[in-house]
Amino acid sequence: MITKDIQLPVKKNEKGMVANVLEQFNKAADHINLNPNIRRILNVTNNEIIIHFPVKMDNGDVEIFTGYRVQHNNALGPYKGGLRYHETVDIDAAKALAMWMTWKTSLAGLPYGGAKGGIQINPKLYSQSELERITRRFTYALGDNIGPEHDIPAPDVNTNAQTMAWIADTYMSTKGPSERSTYQHVVTGKPVGSGGIEGRDRSTGYGVFLTIKLWAEKRNVNLKGKTFIVQGFGNVGYWASHFMEQEGAILVGVQDAFSSIYKSEGIEVKQLQAYVTNNEGSIKNFANSEAIEKEEFFALACDIIIPAALGNQITEHNAASIKANLIAEGANGPTNVEGEAILLANGIEIIPDILCNSGGVIGSYFEWLQNRNGELWHMDEVILKLEKVLKESFNKVYDYSISEGVDMRTAAFSIAIQRIEKAYIQRGIFP
Ligand code: NAD
């Protein structure tokens, strides 16, 4: 059910990501018979910030950039979510991704709401010093629309620990000298040494792997010798592949923004990572593998697919060709509603994004606590705590899906929405 007061921004000829996340939301809301007033609140975003800002380029010219920050809901705590630097960033993408963040943080039991944003930009076209000025000027323009107890960004596609260090430094520089250091947790995913926490770099990919392992245990599947393919070989794709390989699974195919490669005997993760690092982040022309057509990728023979790039990748156009038994959604929104219906009808299971990639925001929460409490956490502690939270989330979702007879995504959304519904009912609506 879509209430009358929401207008879905649907792109020409193509259903947008907002329509997709709202369909997922409304399916679960129907299932739990969500209070209609709360459904109305959650159907829309609280704040949508669009900023045009000028930056001086290396050649002295000034370029105007457009940045976005969408804050969906903060019933459970400060807004939380990544910043993406990509040409596909627009208000619709930011809205959809912000909504997914609300469900993700709620499902993980964190004291956060959901937000997302970024800049519509191809970062490969800019020098490092230009990217620094773009990031700092965007942060300055956002001003107190972000803040350590209000809205806490983190890395996403094409942003990393360096980006977060620039944001933290810029934001802190706008505060008085005596209080500056108390604002360090305005972003998470910072470099270790500048307020970052050990293990945050791998926490999303480790979580992707762990949810696959937990699924395999429930299904009596041994991951040793199982084949998998990964779309996106960045932070999430690399670390997920690393831990899968450590468990004995075999990486047979990789796709990134530049190329698609296949090798039935297995691609060595470390070797590919070293190659990508020295090849401007691209897998293109990696030796010892066969280059394949982009369209053939998801149809490759394998047991598990890990989409770890962008949204709307598995759709009604390619879902029927998929041979894997499991899709583990490292990316946000990689499977659209139509694609999912085909997968489920074919008996293919999906570990939904809001569970599968939630290791990242859980790691971010630990970093936030570390900064807030003036503590220093170590890797073993971080991984142990991450495992505990993820196992609890996974078991909750899995058990709910069995007991209620629903797919894992509907189960995850139902649990997440119920937690927010409870908070609203306890507090009521001001005034
Ligand atoms: P990243 O920038 O480190 O890597 C992105 C990868 O995707 C690169 O290999 C890039 O080449 C590839 N890619 C980009 N466009 C593509 C296309 N059209 N087709 C195929 N591949 C393409 O980004 P990341 O941080 O690894 O994020 C990947 C996904 O995981 C995103 O959907 C993000 O929202 C999600 N995610 C990230 C985190 C995190 O902690 N970084 C947490 C949760 C979810």
Whose structure tokens read 């908070």? 423
Could you tell me the residue range of the domain that residue 118 belongs to? Answer: 46-181
Distance 157 CA to ligand 1 centre (A): 5
Strands 227-231 and 151-155: unpaired
Mutation test residue for ligand 1: of 164, 208, 235, 327, the one with most atoms within 8 Å of CB: 235
Q: Is residue 403 in a domain?
A: no
pLDDT tens for 382-406 read 999 999 999 999 999 999 999 999 9
Which of 308, 329, 356 is the endpoint of a domain? Answer: 356
Question: Which residue would you say has higher pLDDT here, 95 or 4?
Answer: 95
Residue nearest to atom 37 of ligand 1 (CA): 156
pLDDT for 52 beyond 60 = yes
Structure tokens that stand for 312 in this block: 């709307």
pLDDT tens for 234-289 read 999 999 999 999 999 999 999 999 999 999 999 999 999 999 999 999 999 999 89
Residue pair 108/362 in contact (Cβ under 8 Å)? The answer is yes
**ω into residue 431 within 30 of 0, thus cis?**
yes
Q: Is residue 420 in a domain?
A: no
Question: What pLDDT does 152 receive?
Answer: 98
Ligand 1 in reach of 159 Cβ (< 6 A): no
Which amino acid does the sequence have at 351?
Answer: I
Mean per-residue pLDDT for 28-35?
98
* Closest ligand 1 atom to Cα of 256: 21
| Cβ neighbour number for residue 291 with a 10 Å cutoff | 12
Q: What is the spatial distance between Cα 372 and Cα 378, in angstroms, rounded to a whole number?
A: 16
Are 348 and 208 contained in the same domain? yes
pLDDT for 338 beyond 60 = yes
Q: Is residue 429 in a domain?
A: no
Mutation test residue for ligand 1: of 87, 88, 157, 229, the one with most atoms within 8 Å of CB: 157
Q: What is the spatial distance between Cα 329 and Cα 349, in angstroms, rounded to a whole number?
A: 11
Banded model confidence at residue 341, pLDDT cuts 50, 70, 90: very high
Distance 5 CA to ligand 1 centre (A): 33
Distance 233 CA to ligand 1 centre (A): 7
Structure tokens that stand for 359 in this block: 């290791």
Terminal Cα-to-Cα distance of the chain (whole angstroms):
27
pLDDT for 425 beyond 90 = yes
Distance 237 CA to ligand 1 centre (A): 7
Ligand 1 in reach of 236 Cβ (< 6 A): yes
**Length in residues, the chain:** 431
Are 98 and 131 contained in the same domain? yes
Mean per-residue pLDDT for 102-127?
98
Mean per-residue pLDDT for 11-31?
85
Question: What pLDDT does 14 receive?
Answer: 53
Q: Is residue 365 in a domain?
A: no
Are 292 and 159 contained in the same domain? no
How far is the CA of 22 from the CAs of 26, 30, 336, 404, 412, in angstroms?
Answer: 6, 12, 11, 21, 14
Are 175 and 109 contained in the same domain? yes
pLDDT tens for 267-281 read 999 999 999 999 999
Question: What pLDDT does 7 receive?
Answer: 34
For residue 336, give the CATH number of its domain.
Answer: 3.40.50.720
Strands 227-231 and 349-351: unpaired
Question: What pLDDT does 10 receive?
Answer: 38
Residue nearest to atom 13 of ligand 1 (CA): 257
Ligand 1 in reach of 256 Cβ (< 6 A): yes
* Closest ligand 1 atom to Cα of 158: 2
DSSP character string of 138-149: HHHHHGGGSBTT
Are 133 and 236 contained in the same domain? no
Question: What pLDDT does 242 receive?
Answer: 98
Structure tokens that stand for 304 in this block: 């598990």
DSSP character string of 69-120: EEEEE-SSSSEEEEEEESTT-SHHHHHHHHHHHHHHHHHTT-S--EEEEEE-
Are 165 and 251 contained in the same domain? no
Tell me how many domains the chain contains: 2
Residue pair 78/115 in contact (Cβ under 8 Å)? The answer is no
Of residues 333, 334, 365, the one with CA closest to residue 154: 365
Question: What pLDDT does 6 receive?
Answer: 35
Mean per-residue pLDDT for 30-58?
98
Of residues 64, 65, 49, 52, the one with CA closest to residue 120: 65
Are 206 and 172 contained in the same domain? no
Of residues 253, 325, 237, the one with CA closest to residue 293: 253
Question: What pLDDT does 16 receive?
Answer: 87
| Cβ neighbour number for residue 77 with a 10 Å cutoff | 16
Which of 356, 388, 418 is the endpoint of a domain? Answer: 356
The rounded mean pLDDT for the chain is 95
Ligand 1 in reach of 331 Cβ (< 6 A): yes
Residue pair 341/315 in contact (Cβ under 8 Å)? The answer is no
Tell me the sheet residues that pair with 251. Answer: 228
Are 219 and 351 contained in the same domain? yes
- Dihedral angle over CA of 63, 163, 84, 204, nearest 10: 170
Which of 111, 146, 181 is the endpoint of a domain? Answer: 181
Ligand 1 in reach of 204 Cβ (< 6 A): yes
pLDDT for 2 beyond 50 = no
Q: What is the spatial distance between Cα 86 and Cα 68, in angstroms, rounded to a whole number?
A: 12
Contacts of 178 (CB under 8 A, 6+ apart): none
Q: Is residue 400 in a domain?
A: no
pLDDT for 297 beyond 90 = yes
Banded model confidence at residue 8, pLDDT cuts 50, 70, 90: very low
Q: Is residue 291 in a domain?
A: yes
Are 259 and 297 contained in the same domain? yes
Tell me the backbone φ, ψ of residue 149, rounded to 5 degrees: -115, 10
pLDDT for 153 beyond 90 = yes
Catalytic-role residue among 80, 104, 116, 190: 116
Residue pair 275/282 in contact (Cβ under 8 Å)? The answer is no
Residue pair 307/314 in contact (Cβ under 8 Å)? The answer is yes
For residue 168, give the CATH number of its domain.
Answer: 3.40.50.10860
Residue 418: burial class (beta carbons within 10 Å; 0-12, 13-18, 19+): middle
Active site residue 12: no
Contacts of 67 (CB under 8 A, 6+ apart): 50, 51, 52, 53, 117, 118, 119, 120, 138, 141, 142
Mean per-residue pLDDT for 17-34?
97
Question: Which residue would you say has higher pLDDT here, 3 or 295?
Answer: 295
Residue nearest to atom 12 of ligand 1 (CA): 232
Of residues 75, 136, 119, the one with CA closest to residue 101: 75
Ligand 1 in reach of 206 Cβ (< 6 A): no
pLDDT for 13 beyond 50 = no
Percent of the chain's residues with pLDDT above 90: 96
pLDDT for 12 beyond 80 = no
Are 99 and 235 contained in the same domain? no
**pTM over 0.85, yes/no:** yes
Ligand 1 in reach of 208 Cβ (< 6 A): no
Q: What is the spatial distance between Cα 318 and Cα 341, in angstroms, rounded to a whole number?
A: 12
Question: What pLDDT does 9 receive?
Answer: 38
Q: What is the spatial distance between Cα 82 and Cα 181, in angstroms, rounded to a whole number?
A: 22
